Structure formats: C-alpha cells, structure tokens
Amino acid sequence: MPQHFHVNTPLLESVSMSKMAGTAVYLKMENCQPSGSFKIRGVGHLCQQLASRSKGVVCSSGGNAGMAAAYVARKMGLPATVVVPSSTPPLVVRRLQEQGAAVKVAGKVWDDANAEALRLAETEQLTFVPPFDHPLLWEGHASVVAEAAAALGPGARPGAVLLSVGGGGLLCGVVRGLKDAGWADVPVIAMETVGADCFNAAIKAGELVTLDDITSEAKCLGAKTVCRRAFELSQSGEATIISELVTDQEALRAVQMFLGQ
C-alpha cells in the first residue's frame, strides 16, 4: 500500500488575480489530485487507518468525497458504496461508477444520503467514510498547508488563506495545518454560497444551526449543519476565521474566472 494516495499539488501564482487583488495570489491546484479534489487527502488517510481489513467502505457524498472514497477503495482492493442525494448530477454518478463504486440514490439532500450510508455501515458491516466530520480527515487535509509552506520557502507566510466551506472538513484541516506550520495567526477566509450557508448561520446564531433546505446551486457545499469542530474553532479564538457569503451568480462568475487562469 502506498504511503498516501494524494499527490503534492503545485502552488501557482496567478498574475491576473494578483493584479486584481493588489497582492500576490497563489492557487493550490487541488484539481490535480487523482480524484479531482482535496478530499483524497483526508479520505485516503482515514481509509488507511480504519479500512485496511474492512469488508468494504460506504460514503455519503454529493460528489468529491465520494470520488475520493471510490478511488481509494479501488486502490485498496475494497468494494465501495457511495450514497448520493437526488440532486447529484448524472455526470458525477457516472464518474463514481467508472471508479468501480456502487452508487445508491437516497433523499433530496446530503443529510438524507448520510442517514442511509450510516444505516448501510451498520447493517452490512462496512467502514463508514464521513465526508467532513472526523479527526482523521482533518489530519489528512492538514497536509495541504504543509505543502504550501514548503513551496513558499523559509520565512515566507501567507497574509490569509481562502477556502470554501460545506460541512467544514477542509476548514478544520487547514486550521490544524496552520498551527503545525507556525502560522496559527494567519486569518482564514471561509466562503459559502447563500442557500448553503450553515457555517455562517451558526456564527450569526452563536450555536449550531440546521438549515431548512439547501437552495444554492452549489450542491457539493450542501450540508445542512456544519461540523461541531468547525463551529468551535470560530468561537474559541484558536484561529481567526472570517465567514463570507456570495450569491450563486457571484460564485459562477468566479468559476469562469478560475477557468481563465
């Protein structure tokens, strides 16, 4: 079995974004991961720790976590079941199946799919791979900061780290990675879209909040409740976290801008 399943992705300066922002902007190219996203860092680490002698794995996902679980399971020679909500695009389902995963559709939103995945884990004795709420996931995701620190070189440090929040797994991992790198005071800007804003809603309420529904088109950010650890980090002073919201239209324009890089 390999030491890990993720690859060390490039850290590239974006000249056009740097001009727009008036400061150097670097992009950590996690789209270059074998499964297409950062999720493979945490999912790979968790599976190596928990699933090596498993009958198989089951994961609930709207896309990226399921792709990571399917990829890692295939590499480990394990069967994988990915439970997705009905809002999952057919292209995502097809790509999961191409990785060898059995795909089951359950419910309208991720929370419904997660309940079914938990049921399957218990009844079929499978290893449950959560998409964002587990310390081993956060430990794996922290590697993205270690790589960025190595790429920037000694003495360099970012002015801020910008990331998106769905359930909060990447946020928890990045905060851990910042601490490990000696960058605990570096602010983290946590982005969400309106309609998939469980983290921002929790911060405003001062407690965990469960959204009535996911109305954003950003379905992969579609957790109705952020993980407790992410909320605790926003309240404890352990990290400087700035929560920001954008509309779907603003997010789409940003996607188009990233594609032009």
Mean pLDDT of the region 81-88: 91
- What confidence score (pLDDT) does residue 3 get? 81
State both tokens at 31: 């789209």
Residue appearing with tokens 């709420």: 133
By CB neighbour count within 10 A (0-12 exposed, 13-18 middle, 19+ buried), where does 195 fall? Answer: middle
Work out the mean pLDDT of the chain and round it to a whole number: 93
Instruction: State the CB neighbour count (10 A cutoff) for residue 53.
Output: 7
Domain 39-128: which CATH class? Answer: alpha beta
Q: Using pLDDT thresholds of 50, 70 and 90, give the confidence band for residue 1.
A: low
The radius of gyration computed from the CA coordinates of the chain, to the nearest angstrom, equals 18
Nearest to 233 by CA among 208, 251, 209, 258: 208
- What confidence score (pLDDT) does residue 220 get? 65
Mean pLDDT of the region 94-99: 94
By CB neighbour count within 10 A (0-12 exposed, 13-18 middle, 19+ buried), where does 260 fall? Answer: exposed
The ranges of the chain annotated as CATH 3.40.50.1100 are 39-128, 134-260
Which CATH number is correct for 134-260, 2.60.120.10, 3.40.50.2000, 3.40.50.300, 3.40.50.1100?
3.40.50.1100
- What confidence score (pLDDT) does residue 260 get? 77
Cβ distance 132 to 167 under 8 Å?
yes
Q: Please tell me the pTM assigned to this model.
A: 0.93
Residues 14-56 pLDDT 10s:
999 999 999 999 999 999 999 999 999 999 999 999 978 889 9
Q: Is residue 111 scored above 90 in pLDDT?
A: no
Residues 220-253 pLDDT 10s:
667 899 999 999 999 998 999 999 999 999 999 9
Q: Is residue 117 scored above 80 in pLDDT?
A: yes
Residues 185-234 pLDDT 10s:
999 999 999 999 999 999 999 999 999 988 998 876 678 999 999 999 99
